[in-house]
Amino acid sequence: MFAARATGLVKLVGLCLMAGVLVAAVMFPAVGGLGLASNRAADTVDQTSGELTKAELPLVTTVLDMNGQPFAYLYDQYRIPVPSEGINDTMKAAIIAIEDKRFFEHKGVDWQGIARAAAKAGVDGETSQGASTLTQQYVKNYLAFVVGKGSDEAYEKATEATIGRKISEARIATQLEQKMTKDEILTAYLNVVPFGNGAFGVGAAARTYFDTTPDKLTVPQAAMLAGLVNEPSRLNPGSDVDAAIKRRNTVIDRMRENGAFGPDAKIAEAEANEYKAADIGVVPDLKLLPHGCVGAGDGPIYGFFCRYMLDYLEKSGLPIDELLRGGYTITTTMDPVATRAAKTAAEEQVPKTQPGVANAMAVVQPGPDKHRVRALAANRDFGNNADAGQSAYSIPAEVTKFGAGSIYKVFTAASALERGVTGIDKQIDVPKEYASRVYKDGNKPYTVKNAGIYPDKMTLTEALAKSPNTGFVILEEKAGLNNVVDMAYRLGLRESMQGVDREGNPLKADGSNGPSQGDVYKRDNSGSFTLGAGPTSVLELANVSATIMSGGKWCPPTPVEKVVDRNGQPVQLKEAPCDQAVAPEVANALAVGMGADTTIGTAAQAARNAGWTRPMIGKTGTTENHWSVAFMGATPQFGGAVMTFTDGVSPQVICNSTPPRLCGTNDANGVFGGQVAAPTWFKAMQVIHGALPPAGLPAVDPRYR
């Protein structure tokens, strides 16, 4: 007993001393002799109180699809700002009753409350009762969750039990009371304070716990929310209903004592008892707002697009930290119909749980001034559980470590057309085997063979459809390897050629793991470039097809239509400008030259099986080791690419089975691009084109015939 009273006495003395110091500090801002405040500290207080009067709170960034429907939310703090008129008097009365019943009487610091707390400490050691006003709590929460971004360090600093902090808090509070009305302070507090379960502010709390808005909160609902701010985790109604109800009922009693239910004591008590008998009333599944790309859309279907969008915005001057707090509205180019069609087609060919085999698709819409990314999908879901067939990186957008095979022959053909080496109707040599005098394999000539049986000569159009290796190595010699590599970059493989090394690893800013993949091919004079063994991005392949169908105009594959800030003002992004990659005549000739793949070429069977009849460009690809296969194609309306590749820990041959599977190093039964990638493309594109009328390929300048 004596020890308890002694402890209470110590606390009483401490609180009395603190009260005296606070009075001195508030009334005399520079108490330099005591070492408690200075002119510099006063300046800091002035600045902070000024910020608090016009606080810009962390808000949720909303991501919309092309139709204006939200599919992802980005935030550090889930907050729905509400003006004073959007918060009913019941909610205001509840928070005042439990946290600061003399709110309308004091001027920022409740000296009577401090004295009462001191007296209480002298009786039973309790020191918290009445010691902090709502204005002071607003200051504390603002410093912890707005300035400090909710970090543990910031929270500890904003709540540390020191006289210096209490002085600073009290001075800021008294200044706020001179600059803001009581209702402004109350509203600001209710918009800042955390209510648990990730909800900050009463707007998000009302939605999370009761699926309503603050202007419609009932007395039991408002009382429960007001009770939460004391200890949101311990009083969480989702985990401890009894504790939440007990605290809610305490708030209701305080509201009755504070006159919230009228002056008649009997009526007020009866009304309070009725409210206290009510169930907790929270929605069965708390309305938690999905957060980030893993929860994007209906399931993890849109996550790959979301991840690419974040990376794109980062490079365009809008970093993720800003998006998590800025309250932007991002209208994207994502077409949910196209995305679901691509997802369905990818999974039909390769189930998402198939170990070690990824099937990814990208869809880009051609255009002279913008290449809009309409879909990024894969047989994988976007997520962190690899055992469930999920992937945490954007496999349709990032540069894979595997090649697109003979699709790279398109770059050789484009370079040959541009340099006048051949025309699309001109015959090229197609020997069964060819030993190059230009390219080397160690000390020996670089020698290639054809995978099938071909005539000794065929037109470039036929060669693009049937894909003989020897003919394109010969064309590569004539056009020049450096020109062919540059053509790949120009038409769209920009990250693939310049952003990664030969193994597909991103180049570091200091160049320590350089040179780039494109530079390595040039340096080593590697004739194998036209056979497409190097790392490739599926999205960039899709954009190549869009560039060809846009008359040779390259534009960055953009996932963003527009961005507006919290005030509705447009945000300018630092996007790469479009450029004329090749002359329109070259692009048009190349398009027509690629137009026979679906009729006489390696994709013909897949096109027939899909019932495809539209004019289009196309090219299949298969790497020599059958670790990856691909298909790139486009109509004037949509371009797209599919890559099927081994994504396990140890790369293996992908065998031609149903579904495709890994089969070690035996490539005798390896899959080809026309067997998995092309069917995925046609299945998705049938849905994506829908009822659009067929559009023809462009006319060809006779010079390129």
| pLDDT tens-digit series, residues 200-245 | 999 999 999 999 999 999 999 999 999 999 899 999 998 899 999 9
Q: At 337, which helix (H) or strand (E)? A: helix 336-349
Written as six digits, the tokens of 1 are 């007993």
CA distance 181 to 190: 14
DSSP class per residue in 587-612: HHHHHHHTTTHHHHSTTHHHHHHHT-
Written as six digits, the tokens of 266 are 């009997």
Q: What three-state secondary structure class fits 457? A: strand
526 CB-near residues (< 8 Å, 6+ apart):
439, 481, 520
CA distance 126 to 145: 27
Neighbours of 519 (CB within 10 A): 15
- Give the confidence band of 152 by pLDDT, cuts at 50, 70, 90: confident
- Tell me, what DSSP letter sits at residue 506? B
Neighbours of 662 (CB within 10 A): 18
User: Of 27-41, 108-122, 452-466, 605-619, which gets the smallest average pLDDT?
Assistant: 27-41
Q: How far is CA 10 from the centre of its chain?
A: 54
pLDDT of residue 7: 42
Assess contact for 187 and 87: CB atoms under 8 A.
Answer: yes
pLDDT of residue 44: 52
CA distance 698 to 541: 20
In single-letter form, the type of residue at position 158 comes to: A
| pTM score of the predicted model | 0.90
CA distance 126 to 131: 11
Q: What is the number of alpha carbons within 13 Å of residue 443 lying toward its C-beta?
A: 0
Say which residue the tokens 């399931």 belong to: 299
pLDDT at 475 over 50: yes
Assess contact for 389 and 379: CB atoms under 8 A.
Answer: yes
100 CB-near residues (< 8 Å, 6+ apart):
110, 113, 132, 133, 134, 135, 137
pLDDT at 2 over 70: no
Rounded average pLDDT over 509-517: 88
Q: What three-state secondary structure class fits 572? A: coil
29 CB-near residues (< 8 Å, 6+ apart):
37, 39, 42, 45, 171
CA distance 452 to 267: 94
Q: Which of 293, 285, 256 is nearest to 93 (CA)?
A: 256
User: Of 26-40, 63-77, 318-332, 368-382, which gets the smallest average pLDDT?
Assistant: 26-40
Assess contact for 197 and 238: CB atoms under 8 A.
Answer: yes
Please provide residue 181's backbone torsions phi and psi, each rounded to the nearest 5 degrees.
-75, 165
CA distance 392 to 700: 44
Rounded average pLDDT over 138-148: 92
Written as six digits, the tokens of 51 are 């910020």
Written as six digits, the tokens of 274 are 């009725």
Q: Which one is predicted more confidently, 52 or 461? A: 461
Is residue 659 reached through a cis peptide bond, with omega within 30 degrees of 0 on the bond before it? yes
Q: Where are the domains of the chain?
A: 2-37+75-276, 408-535
CA distance 502 to 520: 7
Rounded average pLDDT over 589-601: 97
Rounded average pLDDT over 627-644: 98
pLDDT of residue 126: 40
Q: How far is CA 196 from the centre of its chain?
A: 24
DSSP class per residue in 120-147: HHHHHS---TT-S-HHHHHHHHIIIIII
pLDDT at 131 over 70: no
Q: What three-state secondary structure class fits 579? A: strand
Rounded average pLDDT over 267-282: 96
Q: What is the CATH number of domain 2-37+75-276?
A: 1.10.3810.10
pLDDT at 40 over 60: no
Q: What three-state secondary structure class fits 356? A: coil
- Tell me, what DSSP letter sits at residue 533? -
Q: Which of 654, 675, 82, 5 is nearest to 357 (CA)?
A: 654
Over residues 560-592, the pLDDT tens digits come to: 999 999 999 999 999 999 999 999 999 999 999
Length of the chain: 705
pLDDT at 289 over 70: yes
DSSP class per residue in 268-287: HHHHHHHHHTS-----SS--
In single-letter form, the type of residue at position 287 comes to: K
